[in-house]
Amino acid sequence: MSWCTCSTRRPASTTCWTACGETPGAWTLVWTTLTECLERAMRAAGWWSDERPARLELAVPRDPAHGDWTTNLALLLARELKRPPRAVAEELARRVAPDPEVFAGVEVAGPGFLNFRYSPAFLRRLPATIVAAGGAFGAADHAHGLPVLVEYVSANPTGPLNVVNARAAAVGAALVRLLEATGHQAAGEFYVNDAGNQVDLLGESVAARVAEWAKTAREFPENGYRGSYVGELAEALWRERRSEAEAGLARPDGAAWFRDQALERMQDSQRRDLASYGAEFALWFRESSLHASGRVAGALAALEERGVVYEAEGARWLRTTGFGDDKDRVIVRSNGVPTYLLPDIAYHLDKRARGFRHAVNLWGPDHHAYVCTLQAALRAVGLEPDFLEVLIVQQVNLMKFDPAAGHSVPYKMSKRAGEFITLRDLIEEVGADCAKFFFLMRSTSAHLDFDLDLARQQNDENPAYYVQYAHARIASILRFAAGRGLTPDPGGTVALDAAEEIALIRRLASFPEVVRGAALAREPHRIPTYLVETAAEFHRFYHACRVVSDDAARSRGRLLLAAAARTVLANGLALMGVTAPERMERAAEALS
């Protein structure tokens, strides 16, 4: 193992976070070294205990007056030690020795906070560090390659994707990127429920529509799928595969052909929609493969071996009570057919068997009652208690402006069966970037009011353009400067000491911590929140500090800072799956 030659002496493989130049493009958080620094101080004071690290809290304070990093460690210790918090803080402050290349020092403030402040030299160096790191800035190896499977969307293949699927797709894809950026080995997966009677029903519905083309009598199934896409599927089959379709209608067991055709085509359609939306899945996992490979039967055997299955009322029950569920669940019906729970167990055993150490599932609001059940079932079959983590993606209310009411009201979808707004409609209406930005802007667990009119507007009222505009504006400045032969100062040698310059640098410095927090809390919305604030910080800098001026040295220094801001904005947008445009053109205002 090689070691970085700078003062941190960190193993080069885990990368050095200072601008020492030994491992450019690599960035380990200040967080890591501050944690170690506090650990040493506690050991020196004799206050160390092994469970301490898990509780150690470091944060970037809201108020810049409180420094660049802060910890409430002394306040927590004071309770255990039964000593005044200020006294504990003072003693810790005497013993911590933050790297002088990075921190100007530590101060005790308020009831007993320890506040750390970056050194001027570190701040001056930072823009060059960020630009050198490029797309890697913000990423850090926190999880050491922990394999995590994120399952999301997983819509039934019986119809087009809806707006909640669109929200889940935006959140899931962002989560995968966030986990990768924080050192997880993350994979996205789509679970296809192709084995239930829903798919049979779709097949029957399509067959009935094909029969209309064939002028054959065939009853449309009760509760069949009546959306216009069923008719379109039928027409496509009739035009492209007429002889097979006719044979399928004639045979008593011909429904299977329609089911398989409908399934393939629906899945292709969903795959195309999601790909155009930037949600790529490493695997589309079919439930039917679990049955075919014997894994469902295997799961049942594993459960029985553990003695958590019993018979009652002609069915077989899983004793999920005792593992956190409030009642036991049927896994094999009295007619011998498994319920959905059993393949779900088999599926998660398969996830674990494929090497994933953790599973994150994104489910719609109608499944939240099932969370406890499945988690209990997985514990019953012997998986780690916290193997499965479920995030509920809450519902979306599409809103439209109502002139009569004077404000936006929920957009009423057509009452006709099967008519609803699809993911594709939404992209055509407001654009993929805008849709993703709006979905990611809000906390996943909260209901979302999606204002269609606002999202469609290409003007200053649309928050989605604000961040993109800042990025495009920086690109424009760099183009303008290049035309005058000015490029960013690569060495970061020019002092940037205007208040707006320092405020911007400090904000850029906190990006890796925001990424870490967003990934850890599974809260992608922290990224757009941060980016909006960062864009605002940049605009303030832009208005206060003329970038390209007659002073070439100063111009190059400010160009470097602008380039660093662009790097952070681009990296944040990339995490969201939103494009970072080099230039933006306003659409024609004349459009109705």
Partner RNA sequence: GCGCCCGUAGCUCAAUUGGAUAGAGCGUUAGCCUCCGGAGCUAAAGGUUACAGGUUCGAUUCCUGUCGGGCGCACCA
Q: Binders of RNA among 61-90, rule CB under 7 A? A: 61-63, 65-67, 70, 72, 75-76, 79, 85
- Residue 74 C-beta: closest distance to RNA, Å: 8
Positions 103 through 132 that interact with RNA (CB under 7 A): 109-111, 113, 115
Closest CA to 92 of 104, 82, 77: 77
3-state secondary structure (DSSP) of residue 292: helix
Q: Segment near RNA (CB under 7 A), from 126-134, 144-152, 228-236, 462-470?
A: 462-470
On whether the CB atoms of residues 439 and 165 are closer than 8 A, the answer is: no
Number of residues that bind RNA (CB under 7 A): 99
Q: Segment near RNA (CB under 7 A), from 221-229, 238-246, 426-434, 514-522?
A: 514-522
- Residue 71 C-beta: closest distance to RNA, Å: 8
- Residue 406 C-beta: closest distance to RNA, Å: 10
Tokens, residue 196: 């239930």
Positions 232 through 251 that interact with RNA (CB under 7 A): none
369 binds RNA (CB under 7 A): yes
217 binds RNA (CB under 7 A): no
Please give the Cα distance from 230 to 403 (Å, whole number). 35
420 binds RNA (CB under 7 A): no
Please give the Cα distance from 230 to 266 (Å, whole number). 10
93 binds RNA (CB under 7 A): no
Closest CA to 21 of 105, 131, 95: 131
Q: Closer CB to RNA, residue 223 or residue 243?
A: 223
- Of 215, 407, 412, 415, the residue at the interface with RNA (CB under 7 A) is 407
- Of 180, 260, 466, 574, the residue at the interface with RNA (CB under 7 A) is 466
Query: Which residues, in sequence order, are CB contacts of 152 under 8 Å at separation 6+?
Result: 168, 169, 171, 172, 173, 175, 188, 189, 190, 279, 361, 362
Q: Closer CB to RNA, residue 249 or residue 360?
A: 360
Please give the Cα distance from 438 to 448 (Å, whole number). 9
- Of 339, 400, 418, 424, the residue at the interface with RNA (CB under 7 A) is 339
On whether the CB atoms of residues 143 and 95 are closer than 8 A, the answer is: no
Positions 266 through 295 that interact with RNA (CB under 7 A): 287
Please give the Cα distance from 485 to 559 (Å, whole number). 12
Please give the Cα distance from 6 to 17 (Å, whole number). 10
- Residue 56 C-beta: closest distance to RNA, Å: 11
584 binds RNA (CB under 7 A): yes
Tokens, residue 405: 């009411």
Please give the Cα distance from 154 to 161 (Å, whole number). 10
Please give the Cα distance from 273 to 108 (Å, whole number). 54
395 binds RNA (CB under 7 A): yes
Positions 515 through 554 that interact with RNA (CB under 7 A): 517, 520-523, 525-526, 529, 532, 535-536, 539-540, 542-543, 545-549
